[in-house]
Structure 1
Amino acid sequence: MPSTVRVLMVGNLVSNLAAFLNAFLVLYLLHEGFSAWESGVVLTALMVGRILGSAVGGTAADRFGYRWTIIGSTAATAVLTAAIVYVPNVWVGVLVAGGAGLTATAFRPAAMARVVELTPDERQVMTFSIWRATFNIGSTLGPLTAALLLTWFDSYVPLFLADAATSLCYGLVALLVLPADSARGGKHKEEKAGKQPAPGYRKVVSDGRFVLVVLGLFLTSVAYIQMNSSLPLFVTESGFDSRIYAVMLAINGFMVIALELWLSKWTQKAPIGLPMAAGMGLLGLGYLTYLGPSQTWILLAGTVVWTFGEVIAAPSMLAYPGLVAPAALRGRYIGLATLATQIAYSVGPVVGVTAWHWWGTRLWVLTGACAGAAAVCVAVGAGVRARPRPRELHVSTERESEPA
């Protein structure tokens, strides 16, 4: 990988290693005397900000450049995260937490777009497999780091200051190390020279095939997130010990770490729609397995199947938006795909838990149907026979006729 991509990989690792604000915000606010309702409102603002940050970050990446979007968003995240410890009331907390959530995710479309720009098409899937590995390592070691800080300082404040410090360091490294963005295509430069309005998300959503893939990403994310919401309810209320659920999570984590990079050596050679559709299909099939007899081996076998689906599909899902995007809209394409996933992760647990209470084990029919529909959307939108090519960006040059 080019040195710039390596820097972005390390930044992705560190930003997830010290992402303490999500997990400990409510505990900190309760400790500081805020009510449970006030703490929940502030946390909601943080989550809404994180969802909106993907769309805002995609726009900023295309308009201001990848490098400056990364620098600006990480610097703002550092300031706002540190400011959390000084909020005097719930409404200031809402503003600060919402802003921190927005800026904390705004850099991701720019960073991913820069990775796409510097990586040959035939290596995109493997590169984003490594990107996922850095995310998973950071997310796994983060809680252990938080436990150590809490043991040493017996306070939540150092957690937020450490979170802010890592964001600030990322921004400084981006300022000092990342080179300026390369030119993003002749058409984009001509649009700027002619002072034509830059295309926005309206142009992205007019790409019907891409929107179909985004719908597939949304549906498969709704299905996938059930591992953290309705699956533990299903396991414990089916008469199993909670340790069985822990074993299922351990199987998932081990397979992702052990197999994803290795399998990416082969999936990157296939038409990118094929591993996405196949993986989504396996995800649904694995969840449908839970409709079988309530036996331990059935639970473990189903977990193996849907985890295979995850490791086959996930790297290609990350690589696809940047591969098909016109250069001038790469940030927005990635931002829209990320936005769909973030929304799914927010509404998916509510949908799953509600379905479990209404329908019991028939929840897995709904989950399998979501994953199956996602596979169809991706197969149609991305295709399963040919590698994707960047979409052509057509901007109208016609002028309205002036009145006589």
Structure 2
Amino acid sequence: MALNSDGGASWRRLAVVIYLPTAVSFIGFGAIAPLVPLTARALGASVAEAALVVALMGIGTLIGALPAGVIADRFGEKKSLVGAMVVDIGCLLVCAFAPNTWVLAGAVFVTGLSGAMLSLARQSYLTVAVGLEYRARALSTLGGVFRIGSLLGPLMGAAVVTVWGLQAAYLVAAGTSLLAATVTMALPELPTPEHPPDEPVRLAQVLRRHAHTYATAGVGAAALMLVRTSRDALLPLWCEQVGLDAAATSLIFALSSGIDMTLFYLGGSVMDRFGRRWVSVPSMVIMSLCFALLPLAHSVVAVALFAAALGLGNGISAGVVMTIGSDASPAVGRPQFLAGWRLTTGIGQAAGPLLITAIAALAPLGAAALAIGAIGLTGAGWLWLWVREPSIQGR
């Protein structure tokens, strides 16, 4: 099913069997994500306990990265996707009827595990199914679908909760996962390798064999993830510091997210035509300069301009981390390699908010912004040095 001269038909096919269920499931996820801490509080959790329940989803995603690679290699991407969605359905139903905080916490944690499986299996499938000349656009579109779901999901969740209450939002999300699983059943199986390995591929062997890639391009991609996630943690804190109210902060975020959501295909097109560096490095430089200059922003207009520029930098980089990882992945042991890649970049993703929290506890918030900017600029140089461009005939 690799794309070739008949690329249009293949893209339409992918839109139905990959992008549609991804969008549907992410809208459901986006609907319940803001509601998890409210559900925990309704079950009697303290504020700190509710925050821990929310954190368990991210922890589950990190812990699930390596097992997801093993499962995808053992059962194949299609079965892994459907199985993870079935697990998601069960977890969402448990969340809807959870009798106490502990049961809710367990379901949220398992949702993080299944989320790791879904993300890895989708990336692995597209890496094989789409020709190299279209890979960046395919994965950038996947990244764009994530963003669309994250934007539309909370809107749907708000509407459902307003009419039917918290429990109904989880039931609707379970329904979106069921729909996504049903559509995914139509996903064509990937072709069997012409020369399958004589022995099962071991996760530890793959990780050792590609340790240099994780330590070079992987570290650069982790820095990019760190800078990306810092926007969500740092921007609202800065809005509060300069005296903006909640309504203004929400509008600024909407502006940034709106720009972010519209640029994913542009970034993928540039990567396919000119190379991965021509998106990864400029996006890092744009976001890093925004953070480094953020301490100079003291008005709603100035903060909004920086937020818009952050949306630009983040938007064009949609899918670039997945693309770089897919380019580096081997034909044998690809799911295991991508599991290690996702763990490496996931650590960077988790580190951003933690770093901001640590610096802000000891120094002014502007120091945290400067630190993120410095890390990003260093990461941009690191990516330029270590990202290897794939050889695409006719580029």
Cα distance between partner residues in 1 of 2:76 and 2:213: 26
How far 1:121 moved relative to its partner? 1.0
SS of the residue 2:190 aligns to:
coil
State the partner residue of 2:387: 382
How far 1:66 moved relative to its partner? 0.5
1:241-260 per-position Cα deviation (integer Å, ceiling 9, x unaligned): 55554443233223223433
Contact in 2 for aligned 1:286/1:304 (Cα 8 Å):
no
How far 1:317 moved relative to its partner? 2.2
Cα distance between partner residues in 2 of 1:156 and 1:242: 23
How far 1:90 moved relative to its partner? 4.2
Q: Is the aligned partner of 1:169 residue 2:174? A: no
State the partner residue of 1:62: 73
Cα distance between partner residues in 1 of 2:127 and 2:28: 25
User: Mapping of 1:304-323 within 5 angstroms?
Assistant: 304-323=308-327
Cα distance between partner residues in 1 of 2:179 and 2:244: 45
* Structure 1, 287-296 or 78-87: larger mean CA deviation: 287-296
Cα distance between partner residues in 2 of 1:38 and 1:243: 27
1:381-403 per-position Cα deviation (integer Å, ceiling 9, x unaligned): 214xx4268xxxxxxxxxxxxxx
Query: Which of 198, 201, 209 lines up with 1:206 in the alignment?
Result: 209
Amino acid at match of 1:265: S
SS of the residue 2:135 aligns to:
helix
SS of the residue 1:374 aligns to:
helix
How far 1:325 moved relative to its partner? 0.7
* Structure 1, 65-74 or 364-373: larger mean CA deviation: 364-373
Unaligned stretches of 5+ in structure 1? 390-404
Using a 3 Å threshold, how does the CA distance of structure 1 residues 306 and 29 change in structure 2: closer, same or farther?
Answer: closer
Query: Which of 363, 374, 385 lines up with 2:368 in the alignment?
Result: 363
SS of the residue 1:268 aligns to:
helix
* Structure 1, 290-299 or 177-186: larger mean CA deviation: 290-299
State the partner residue of 2:170: 160
State the partner residue of 1:401: none
State the partner residue of 2:109: 98
Cα distance between partner residues in 2 of 1:335 and 1:181: 19
State the partner residue of 2:18: 8
How far 1:4 moved relative to its partner? 4.2
User: Mapping of 1:212-227 within 5 angstroms?
Assistant: 212-227=216-231
1:136-185 per-position Cα deviation (integer Å, ceiling 9, x unaligned): 221111111112211221x222211222222222223323x122221235
Unaligned stretches of 5+ in structure 2? 1-10
Amino acid at match of 1:364: A
* Number of residue pairs the alignment of both structures matches: 379
SS of the residue 2:193 aligns to:
coil
Q: Is the aligned partner of 1:24 residue 2:23? A: no
User: Mapping of 1:23-102 within 5 angstroms?
Assistant: 23-36=34-47, 38-102=49-113
Amino acid at match of 1:200: L
Contact in 1 for aligned 2:263/2:316 (Cα 8 Å):
no
Cα distance between partner residues in 2 of 1:152 and 1:338: 38
Using a 3 Å threshold, how does the CA distance of structure 1 residues 90 and 72 change in structure 2: closer, same or farther?
Answer: same
Using a 3 Å threshold, how does the CA distance of structure 1 residues 311 and 157 change in structure 2: closer, same or farther?
Answer: closer
Contact in 1 for aligned 2:64/2:113 (Cα 8 Å):
yes
Cα distance between partner residues in 1 of 2:252 and 2:44: 38
Contact in 2 for aligned 1:150/1:156 (Cα 8 Å):
yes
Q: Cα RMSD (Å) of the superposition?
A: 2.6
State the partner residue of 1:184: 193
SS of the residue 1:328 aligns to:
coil
Cα distance between partner residues in 2 of 1:147 and 1:304: 25
State the partner residue of 1:127: 138
How far 1:41 moved relative to its partner? 4.5
**Identical aligned residues as a percent:** 18
Contact in 2 for aligned 1:18/1:163 (Cα 8 Å):
yes
* Structure 1, 221-230 or 9-18: larger mean CA deviation: 221-230
Cα distance between partner residues in 2 of 1:61 and 1:351: 33
Q: Is the aligned partner of 1:253 residue 2:257? A: yes
Using a 3 Å threshold, how does the CA distance of structure 1 residues 309 and 3 change in structure 2: closer, same or farther?
Answer: same
1:277-330 per-position Cα deviation (integer Å, ceiling 9, x unaligned): 222122211211224364555434433443332233333222221122112322
State the partner residue of 1:392: none
1:12-36 per-position Cα deviation (integer Å, ceiling 9, x unaligned): 1011101144321222233234555
State the partner residue of 2:307: 303
Contact in 2 for aligned 1:48/1:101 (Cα 8 Å):
yes
How far 1:78 moved relative to its partner? 0.9
Cα distance between partner residues in 1 of 2:108 and 2:263: 37
Using a 3 Å threshold, how does the CA distance of structure 1 residues 364 and 27 change in structure 2: closer, same or farther?
Answer: closer
Amino acid at match of 2:173: D
State the partner residue of 2:6: none
1:216-237 per-position Cα deviation (integer Å, ceiling 9, x unaligned): 2222222222222122222331
State the partner residue of 1:267: 271
1:317-344 per-position Cα deviation (integer Å, ceiling 9, x unaligned): 2222112211232223333333344333
Q: Is the aligned partner of 1:235 residue 2:239? A: yes
State the partner residue of 2:377: 372
